[in-house]
Structure 1
Amino acid sequence: METACQKNDIAGPSMAVGTETAFWSESWTETAAARSRALGALDTLSTLLHGPHGFIHEFVATSWDHGALYAFLQSSLLAHMASSAKGIPLSSLAEHSQIPEDKLLRILALLRCKNIVHEPEREVFTLTAISEHLMKDNDFRAWVEFQLFETRVASAHLAEALKQKPNDYATGSSGFKQGWGAEMYEWHAVHPDKGSRFLQAMRGVAKSLDPADSLLRKHIRSDDSAFRTKVVEIGGRYGFASVTLVSERPNLSFEVRCDSQNFLNRGEALVNPQCKSRISFTHVESMFEPVSYDDSQSVLVYVVRNVLWNWTDEDVVQLLKALLSPNKSTRILVADGVSPTSTQFPPHVELAYRRRDITTMTMHNVKQRTQEEWRRLFLSAHPGLQIRTDIEASSHVCKGLWELVVPK
């Protein structure tokens, strides 16, 4: 990999502040596969070297690392440390954060062991490339803080939620509700500061980790019909594909339909002013009302992006039937999370997707459907439905796109 970096004039990896390199980018394909294999081998080697007891000890001890990082991020020290490349003395950091020096020193010492801060001289601290990244990317930082706060408490209560009866997906309780006293969206509604942080976190995930928009770009073709030129996006909570695609497809118009005016307002605020004439935002009372006859004359494709993952099977079928009426020839593109099979990815890659399975169970008491479960669900809406599947996976999200068409 060092040779590849030199050959392509790519800076090698470093934890020093200011490090910018394509080496870490998944899009740099020359080393992506080799990096993945090396990470998998290192993971296996680390487990073998630790042995059973050492592995488990290290596995669970990271909760203290997470607590220290959250305390650091909540202290406003990140921006303060960024103000000096040479480093800031502990006394100044303690005064700024109002954390006693003796306690702060222990927090920073643990973070230093994880390369999150650097100590160039005794009790003087600077940022590293890791903490600098958190400083530069506020959306990603919001996701990190959400993981360190809400999800840590929720995951600690998953076991208790599973003891409740019933505890199935339809009627059971989530770990989040068990830990926080309400389901996540309800809890965020009464804790608006955390709700706003969560919205920012989901923006960051969609921007950097979610392949849904990439899949939709491949499958929204504009040459299918000279008459149908409208893309209708259904639903949406933390972002709409149409907001991005309207800038990229000048020969198409877009309409977003949602039963939440609040979500529509957020999406509309993000549209490029030059594209506002080609995109509309329509509030609907119900997502399940059959579409109008006008749609059958103008709609090229319906897009349902990251909406159905926490819907019941019955509601998914009802929505699809509404979209297929009155014109069953219109295409539907569904982009959503998929739980891969156990042999689909190497274990060190699969790990992220299994975490996602536990995430949806813990936070919402719902499951990520497998490819076969998605197919059965779609066929429940129309037995003759033609289904084409495309799968893309990032380092943390496995996403499926299903093109649904009723054969003529």
Structure 2
Amino acid sequence: MSQDIRALATEILALCTQLEETCNDSGIPSPSLTTDTKSNFWSKPELATTRTTALGLLDHLTTLLQGPHDFLHEFVSSNWDHGALYVFLQSQTLEHIAQTGRSSLHDLSKHTRIPEDKLSRILGLLRCRHIVAEPERGVFSLTAVSEELLEDGDFCAWVEFQLFETRVASAHLADALIHKPNGYADGVSGFKEGWGMEMYDWHARYPEKGERFRRAMRGVSRALDPADSLLESWIDQHPPTSRTKIVEIGGRYGFASVSLVQKHPDLSFEVRCDSQDFLDRGSAQVQSGCRDRISFTRCPSLFDSQPVEDSRTVWVYVIQNLFWNWSDVDVIRLLRSLKEVSDKSTRILVTDGVSPLSGEFPAHEEIAYRRRDVTTMTMHNVKQRRQEEWVAVFGSVGENVQVETTFERSSHVCKGLWEIRFGGNGSD
């Protein structure tokens, strides 16, 4: 065991030395948690692999040093850290400290109406987590960690969503799984078990939480979702035919077309969705110079047969982040409606999450994808399909379906882009 610990520590030291040398050679400032930190240490692609490998080894070393009992104790005790952080955000303590630079406990108590003794204990825990600093006794300031929450409001909304809705839902997953039947088609989500209704219905009832969720999804997608990158790469690698129209179908909290129309002046776009509210939100984000090349169409049902004129005008259909919570039957039904108005030159691009095989990635990378599996189960009682499940669904649309797959992953999610063609021989 001591040799294992020594070997891990030696490898971690070597990786940290490598990081330091790369930073020195490239002029990258060393990381710091002080406010106004401008280091791009955490975002530089050339450091990413070394950083994540070192973090994975460090996590393994930490677990070995703790032992089973202490590991489990620390693992579950972070619940209280999360509760303290939610108080910090909901009470606007973050904003008040930011406005003043340094705030006394007395001023913060007066501002938040939280008794000083209680607030001191909350801030004391957050200080241990490097979320606030205490440069003088009873005086608090921000750190680079809390500044991140201040500077990116959408990401902060995602943090609050995780601290509130998902904590309650995850606490009720065990009870949800007791119900019989408890399959994906006939079971109950942890969210519904905890909140009494499904998540989207709950957000509709509490619109302020619904708006926070929309911001949260926008923030996490912008930072961590590779779907847009996959679509961009495909379009760059496939010059359009005589047809130059792209039709996007669906899109609950964001449309790929809104960004694509700004980057591809030679293409036109149409967004089709069953929600006028979502269409209005998407339309509001389009730059004025692009409005003549994008339209937004409300479809009472996405399953209705597509317009016959599509067979003469549409080059590509885009379906981004739509099928993840659809049944196989509904996925096949929509794709068959597109098949009716497609020919051999039409392409359908589906981008969605993939559950990778167990052990396909190192544990420190795989954990994010396994969390995603549990997230979709807890929040919606649906599963992330594996690659073979996706291909099987697409193959069920009809004969002579061809499928080509491209994968891309981030620290948050593994995404696939499936190019679907009708006609020809076989599929791959």
TM surpasses 0.5: yes
The one-letter code matched in structure 2 to 1:134 is L
Aligned CA RMSD, in angstroms, stands at 1.1
- Measured against aligned partners, the alpha-carbon deviations of 1:105-157 in whole angstroms (never above 9, x if no partner) come to 00000000000000111111000000001001000000000000000000000
- Measured against aligned partners, the alpha-carbon deviations of 1:145-171 in whole angstroms (never above 9, x if no partner) come to 000000000000000000011111001
Higher mean displacement: 343-352 or 63-72: 343-352
Distance in 2 separating the partners of 1:342 and 1:216 = 27
Corresponding position: 1:38 with 2:93? no
1:254, distance to aligned residue in structure 2 (A): 0.3
- Measured against aligned partners, the alpha-carbon deviations of 1:247-275 in whole angstroms (never above 9, x if no partner) come to 00000000000111111111001001110
* Structure 1 residues 295-310: aligned runs within 5 Å: 295-310=310-325
TM-score when normalising by structure 1: 0.97
Q: Which runs of 5+ in 1 are unaligned?
A: none
Give the match's secondary structure for 1:333: strand
Aligned residues of 1:246 and 1:253 also touching (Cα < 8 A): yes
Q: Which residue matches 2:133? A: 118
The one-letter code matched in structure 2 to 1:398 is C
Q: Which residue matches 2:213? A: 198
Aligned residues of 1:183 and 1:364 also touching (Cα < 8 A): yes
Distance in 1 separating the partners of 2:236 and 2:118 = 58
Q: Which residue matches 1:183? A: 198
Shift of the 77–286 alpha-carbon distance from structure 1 to 2, 3 Å rule, reads same
Q: Which residue matches 2:5? A: none
Distance in 1 separating the partners of 2:250 and 2:267 = 19
The one-letter code matched in structure 1 to 2:383 is K
Higher mean displacement: 152-161 or 278-287: 278-287
- Measured against aligned partners, the alpha-carbon deviations of 1:70-121 in whole angstroms (never above 9, x if no partner) come to 0110011111101233x21111111111100000000000000000000111
Which of 49, 61, 69 matches 1:53?
69
Q: Which residue matches 1:173? A: 188
Corresponding position: 1:131 with 2:149? no
Distance in 1 separating the partners of 2:132 and 2:51 = 24
The one-letter code matched in structure 2 to 1:169 is Y
Which of 94, 99, 105 matches 1:83?
99
Give the match's secondary structure for 2:309: helix
1:12, distance to aligned residue in structure 2 (A): 1.1
Give the match's secondary structure for 1:304: strand
Which of 41, 60, 71 matches 1:23?
41
The one-letter code matched in structure 1 to 2:50 is A
Which of 113, 121, 137 matches 1:106?
121
Distance in 2 separating the partners of 1:326 and 1:269 = 30
The one-letter code matched in structure 1 to 2:230 is L
Distance in 1 separating the partners of 2:197 and 2:407 = 34
Shift of the 272–397 alpha-carbon distance from structure 1 to 2, 3 Å rule, reads same
TM-score when normalising by structure 2: 0.93
Give the match's secondary structure for 2:252: coil
Distance in 1 separating the partners of 2:402 and 2:63 = 45
Give the match's secondary structure for 1:326: coil
1:32, distance to aligned residue in structure 2 (A): 1.2
Which of 67, 77, 81 matches 1:65?
81
1:11, distance to aligned residue in structure 2 (A): 1.3
The one-letter code matched in structure 2 to 1:144 is V
